[in-house]
Structure 1
């Protein structure tokens, strides 16, 4: 009877939400109505995507697969006389009737039609008309959109009265109108506050904050400023950046041992909390050591460059691994500032973007002058960092590094960046990217001309490189970061392929908005908090997440943002949510990484750990209840509880995470010792504070869902509580077994049956989709 009642309880709460989810998930991309043919057809935004999907496989940049000598991805190739019929041309600007491309795509003759029937590709009638109009208008090939400096266009002239005066909303509303959509109503205040708190701090709102916002008249703008000033803001933002910085607590590779880069993590949190401008934030990390008379904080920031994997295996070839480290630095720079897949040009010219292998190694040269070694010593060294390094002393933490949470008096070694002082290491193109195959002439440090040529007035080192990336007319740096922030808040960037702004990446869904935000960000001093404040102040952000029938029909994937997306929290934030809402969270900022609960035997079953990392030694006391950002990350065996919820491996630079939905995730939320312990601790606290179980359940809702239960929900939970209370009263041994979980002490005076019963109610609440989802 108890099991049946429990199933009914969960069904009553979860099934309506799952029905909406399944409707959304199973619908595919939906059928967007074909838009009108625009007055001006753009190669970048209208034509190239069609040609890329249907034509470039045989007539694109890959010379090995090109057929009939025809190349359609360049104007020279498209305008040239056809090899098989020199009197004709694929594209004749202004003359679609004379263009073989038009004749072939409109043909119904199987021997003539393109794409051929056997390719299973098809160009729609709407797309054919677009190509025809493009040729009629002159068939102008444009430089790739992302390589053109952004401009701040005028706000679209749309009627926003009664919705918002925020500039973001003008661009979003214009796109909605173009596609027959209208914005959702504003979300309920309780949902809004939970959404804002999670986005800006990674934690659920406190009960006092909920009451202030719902009952005491605190405005939305006041709540935004309140959360931006919380120390937890820096921790929330650092989570994004540590994925980019490939931060971990071990060296990686087979002989995986501990390293102490955690003071760098403390610096990242500190930088976000003090709202360090993004241009300074980048400069210190890429080239703080090259600034005039750099201080210790600036040197610590350069640890960003040294977070890559480092081998401690005996017998490796030193130069092979040294080159690997430089490649990693090069790829990380290109990913975080350029949003380009530069790594594709390591072994050969980039197949799709105008970046040659020489371009790649010109960029590589900026990072090729460090004195670090490929192999410095085997596992087991007492120094947990590789040279060049700095020591963080106790005195530093009372001075310039006062943000470093140093728990004892010992020194901490951190790997940092440095250049050779008396020489410049020569750089050559490496044949097929092999460390021992240098070819051609010696290269100079430089940047891809297709993006922006390197200014000879700048120093030819990492400082000059980051200054190049931050110049006002640079096309990518501001765009890439603005897009990352948008992705963190809305789940997808305005450019959905956040790590690829190149020709094979996704087109921006709102190009004018992306450019407006990028220019505005740069014009306002690269102010990160201002950018975030602007986004979360918008009516676009404040919309309800309700999925309406016209959304499903016209925009199932929410491309045009006519509703707020439902987004499951990142892995670390699920842990933080449970700890915070239960009262278990230890809110200390920074310090060494900690080892919380983990299934026994994982490290021991692996041969990847050496020294301290051979055996997993779980921490005790307050260390068990730190935020997820402080969980110890062993590169060869990352924490399973984080990986199950799509946490980063941290072995390479990662600018976005997946959001999967698997049964293992449900099993974690039902069985993880942390979730059960948190449920028990919260139950004990609520039973102590409230004699009335109804009031206890109301507070549980406020803590976990940031709202009061609806009448039907309260009745269902009370019924479930009373049923469980009766069971545990009759079976005190079962009650004791249920609450006997976790390392936090069991109060001697606790009401075991009542705590066990309320604990079951709280476990059910934590397992609601609403609990760990932004709605």
Structure 2
């Protein structure tokens, strides 16, 4: 985030700014020690910025009490109640009395009393004379037209600036980028290798990796327009829409379920129709202004142009237990932040604290979006239809029962001409709202969308708060470039594909991503794009790439959502995976998927141990590794087989060193690896007559912390409920899904078994455990709110015989967590022992070729764009 002087007041307020200085109040000359100045800057200034400047700064939207705290002279001049402080006399200073919450005066800040330590800071500061390096005379508060803020000015075309390195730019975009670099003493990086660039283009435009054949085709194409041809080919691919639709679904807070609701179906059965409409619209290059209109008012468009499924943008949010006020608030937020980059929802309870958005603006939109009824046609997402269009009262403090003035349905006042409101009264006003949002007269919409696209292409947006173009948002790093692109986007018919095409054909985009310490020293975060940002694949591209590498990807476009966390996982693209708003699977959360509860402008990006554990232990990853290895099994020459693995996984041949190391590894490893211990872990049931295990199914998944075997990624799951095992014990499912720890005798002999069962919960009906030997049950025990010894004196086994340690639930499966450690001892010429806890492991046997495949599939090279 690019911020300057974090301890100073907000950069600009739309309603007020410090412009005039009093001629009468001259600051007294006061000398302060360096220690006093440091105390102000490290202790006092942060408290003023955090607790005071919102209401008592020349930059405040509304100045309270006439008091400005922006410098020493203003504090001494005071406000409506007189001077705010008396240097050297803390007890008599109104500022100190206010933060102390004295009964005799004001109590500030009004949201809650400061801590004793914070109050002591103000006391010491005033008592020591109020050191303050912010000089100048007392500031006079002068209101300012909110339309003067940069994002409310209409974007203009700008002539590309002149640059010294005139042979580098390939487009007008490059001139803007290079001019900033030269201004900052930077220079662009060399052109990326074609092997790097082709991978970058495939991922950015389709979200899928290129195959070795596709890489070679581009690298070997020596025509000067080779890159343009490839870009056009990828833009025409149906996978383009899938990739870019997922970006938009983050904005639209898309999910297949409603979240928590009461006594109704949690699902949106037809939600996928909206997702598929977004994919199709992007593939068809539907102009963005029409893209907006369909999502806000498809039902108000001419019959031949309607795509009612597009209304899912509004209707597929959380249902908040069907609280209509919260539902409409969510819709106002997704419209305002998604299309306009404004936090209108902040004005639900009071005028916006920073931006020129009043409560009347909020309830104007409330009236527009609320003048509808909702229907759910069969096989469709919920749609809207106008019903009794009406204006609504402002809810004072956001309380529906506390009504204020009526807010007429009209467009946001700051986006209309001064004193010329834009009524939205045709029906609900949604179509007029869409037209106003997508109008060329609107200064925000094109800027906001172009900025989003830039962020997806370059890894960081020009405005790094892509859904907040207000006062609290960041300023653009290249304002003239952003404006120029916004105007060009509109003049070009709002074409998304042409916008993306222009960006990826720039010299800026085609730079190498290699680090350059000299440039990094002056621009550590690459604000001025002296190299291409190196980016990690997102969740969807990582999973899809695994399927592409093994030739498993089902390329079917569209259709109902599938459960990609199932075992085995359906080979559909990840965009078609079911998004459960209330119970978002751990796999999604682990890899920074967009939270579907609300509009998501930027995904978080974390590096956490759970990601590595998933890649090491997930049955999905292991299955792909085994398939990749299995597909090459017909190649007799190990070196040729290694080469094919590299080509399939990484799209290139191995280096000589890689080839030699990999060949040595696979040729010296055992061909049939034995398990690390004789223990297996799974679930099943016992035969009612014999007591033997009727069916044993090994668990297929390991928990993200690597400590528990289970039947799917989550607990409970659809496969075997709560059934699971860890080193100390576990949890049964139902009678059908008993938790079974199986010991396979490595040699024959006589063994004895000692164990201790614990059921610690004070609730539930306890658990039942059995030890089942080669001939049948050899012991049964029950534990309820306590423990039991589970000893067996003698059991004869042959090599390969199994002994099962089975835990079953009672009539209920609640509170059935158990601990059960067993020790097996075989006496003979020597004593051998096995312990269920110390021997516990979560690794399944994998042969050397599968291990090599997995190494390639989880490598950084595989999971980074370049």
TM-score, structure 2 normalization: 0.65
Cα deviation 1:697-734 (Å, max 9, x = unaligned): 333333333333333333333333334xx223565999
2:620 matched residue in structure 1:
674
Residue 667 of structure 2 is aligned to residue 722 of structure 1: yes
1:288 matched residue in structure 2:
298
Give the number of the structure whose residues are more often strand, by fraction.
2
2:325 matched residue in structure 1:
323
Residue 526 of structure 2 is aligned to residue 558 of structure 1: yes
* Mapping for residues 357-436 of structure 1, pairs under 5 Å: 357-372=359-374, 388-391=375-378, 412-420=379-387, 423-434=388-399, 436=400
1:102 matched residue in structure 2:
none
Q: Following the alignment from structure 2 to structure 1, what is the Cα–Cα distance between the partners of residues 342 and 481?
A: 20
Residue 229 of structure 2 is aligned to residue 242 of structure 1: no
Residue 588 of structure 2 is aligned to residue 642 of structure 1: yes
2:860 matched residue in structure 1:
769
Question: Deviation at 1:693?
Answer: 2.8
Q: Following the alignment from structure 1 to structure 2, what is the Cα–Cα distance between the partners of residues 479 and 634?
A: 32
Q: Aligned pair in 2 of structure 1 residues 29, 509: CA closer, same or farther (>3 Å)?
A: closer
Q: Following the alignment from structure 1 to structure 2, what is the Cα–Cα distance between the partners of residues 579 and 118?
A: 69
| Contact 1:677–1:741 (Cα < 8 Å) also in 2 | no
Q: Following the alignment from structure 2 to structure 1, what is the Cα–Cα distance between the partners of residues 650 and 172?
A: 31
Query: Match for 2:169 among 164, 167, 186?
Result: 164
Cα deviation 1:491-524 (Å, max 9, x = unaligned): 2211001111100101111111111111110000
* Mapping for residues 416-565 of structure 1, pairs under 5 Å: 416-420=383-387, 423-434=388-399, 436-453=400-417, 454-456=421-423, 459=426, 461-565=429-533
Question: Deviation at 1:758?
Answer: 2.0
Q: Which runs of 5+ in 1 are unaligned?
A: 1-27, 33-40, 88-109, 373-387, 392-411, 598-617, 744-752
Q: Aligned pair in 2 of structure 1 residues 181, 259: CA closer, same or farther (>3 Å)?
A: same
Q: Following the alignment from structure 2 to structure 1, what is the Cα–Cα distance between the partners of residues 129 and 216?
A: 64
Q: Following the alignment from structure 1 to structure 2, what is the Cα–Cα distance between the partners of residues 452 and 510?
A: 26
- By relative contact order (CA 8 Å, sep 6+), the higher-ranking structure is 1
2:606 matched residue in structure 1:
660
| Contact 2:394–2:404 (Cα < 8 Å) also in 1 | yes
Q: Following the alignment from structure 2 to structure 1, what is the Cα–Cα distance between the partners of residues 541 and 524?
A: 27
* Mapping for residues 32-431 of structure 1, pairs under 5 Å: 56=53, 58-59=56-57, 69-70=67-68, 83=79, 143-217=148-222, 219-255=226-262, 257-260=266-269, 261-293=271-303, 297-310=306-319, 321-372=323-374, 388-391=375-378, 412-420=379-387, 423-431=388-396
Aligned positions, number: 618
Q: Following the alignment from structure 2 to structure 1, what is the Cα–Cα distance between the partners of residues 129 and 518?
A: 36
Give the number of the structure whose residues are more often helix, by fraction.
1
Cα deviation 1:155-188 (Å, max 9, x = unaligned): 0111344323211111111111111111111111
Q: Aligned pair in 2 of structure 1 residues 120, 629: CA closer, same or farther (>3 Å)?
A: farther
CA RMSD of aligned residues (A): 4.1
2:755 matched residue in structure 1:
none
| Contact 1:428–1:438 (Cα < 8 Å) also in 2 | no
Q: Which range is displaced more, 270-279 or 64-73?
A: 64-73
Q: Following the alignment from structure 1 to structure 2, what is the Cα–Cα distance between the partners of residues 166 and 193?
A: 20
- Paired residue secondary structure (1:279): helix
2:832 matched residue in structure 1:
none
Q: Following the alignment from structure 2 to structure 1, what is the Cα–Cα distance between the partners of residues 466 and 129?
A: 34
1:629 matched residue in structure 2:
575
| Contact 2:2–2:474 (Cα < 8 Å) also in 1 | no
Q: Aligned pair in 2 of structure 1 residues 62, 153: CA closer, same or farther (>3 Å)?
A: closer
Question: Deviation at 1:576?
Answer: 0.8
Q: Aligned pair in 2 of structure 1 residues 588, 69: CA closer, same or farther (>3 Å)?
A: same
Question: Deviation at 1:68?
Answer: 6.6
* Mapping for residues 682-693 of structure 1, pairs under 5 Å: 682-688=628-634, 690-693=635-638
Q: Following the alignment from structure 1 to structure 2, what is the Cα–Cα distance between the partners of residues 150 and 458?
A: 28
- Paired residue secondary structure (1:507): coil
1:394 matched residue in structure 2:
none
Question: Deviation at 1:338?
Answer: 0.9
Q: Aligned pair in 2 of structure 1 residues 642, 668: CA closer, same or farther (>3 Å)?
A: same
- Paired residue secondary structure (1:371): strand
Instruction: Report which of the two structures shows the higher radius of gyration computed on alpha carbons.
Output: 2
TM-score, structure 1 normalization: 0.72
Question: Deviation at 1:443?
Answer: 2.1
Question: Deviation at 1:741?
Answer: 7.1
Question: Deviation at 1:413?
Answer: 3.8
Q: Aligned pair in 2 of structure 1 residues 116, 146: CA closer, same or farther (>3 Å)?
A: farther
Q: Following the alignment from structure 1 to structure 2, what is the Cα–Cα distance between the partners of residues 720 and 68?
A: 77
Query: Match for 1:701 among 646, 669, 682?
Result: 646
Q: Which runs of 5+ in 2 are unaligned?
A: 6-10, 19-40, 84-120, 682-697, 702-710, 712-843
Q: Following the alignment from structure 1 to structure 2, what is the Cα–Cα distance between the partners of residues 122 and 765?
A: 58
Q: Following the alignment from structure 2 to structure 1, what is the Cα–Cα distance between the partners of residues 166 and 656?
A: 36
| Contact 1:163–1:539 (Cα < 8 Å) also in 2 | yes
- Paired residue secondary structure (2:295): helix
Q: Following the alignment from structure 2 to structure 1, what is the Cα–Cα distance between the partners of residues 59 and 161?
A: 36
- Paired residue secondary structure (2:385): coil
Q: Which range is displaced more, 638-647 or 524-533?
A: 638-647
- Paired residue secondary structure (2:381): strand
- Paired residue secondary structure (1:441): strand
Query: Match for 1:756 among 847, 851, 863?
Result: 847
- Paired residue secondary structure (1:566): coil
| Contact 1:246–1:653 (Cα < 8 Å) also in 2 | yes
Q: Following the alignment from structure 1 to structure 2, what is the Cα–Cα distance between the partners of residues 712 and 119?
A: 68
Q: Which range is displaced more, 695-704 or 503-512?
A: 695-704
Question: Deviation at 1:82?
Answer: 6.9
Q: Aligned pair in 2 of structure 1 residues 337, 119: CA closer, same or farther (>3 Å)?
A: farther
Question: Deviation at 1:441?
Answer: 2.7
1:588 matched residue in structure 2:
556
Question: Deviation at 1:440?
Answer: 2.2
Q: Following the alignment from structure 2 to structure 1, what is the Cα–Cα distance between the partners of residues 424 and 352?
A: 28
Q: Aligned pair in 2 of structure 1 residues 294, 335: CA closer, same or farther (>3 Å)?
A: farther
- Paired residue secondary structure (2:633): helix
Question: Deviation at 1:309?
Answer: 1.7
| Contact 1:303–1:417 (Cα < 8 Å) also in 2 | no
Q: Aligned pair in 2 of structure 1 residues 122, 496: CA closer, same or farther (>3 Å)?
A: farther
| Contact 2:451–2:462 (Cα < 8 Å) also in 1 | yes
- Paired residue secondary structure (2:509): coil
| Contact 2:261–2:319 (Cα < 8 Å) also in 1 | no
Q: Following the alignment from structure 2 to structure 1, what is the Cα–Cα distance between the partners of residues 409 and 530?
A: 46
| Contact 2:201–2:231 (Cα < 8 Å) also in 1 | yes
Q: Following the alignment from structure 1 to structure 2, what is the Cα–Cα distance between the partners of residues 115 and 243?
A: 49
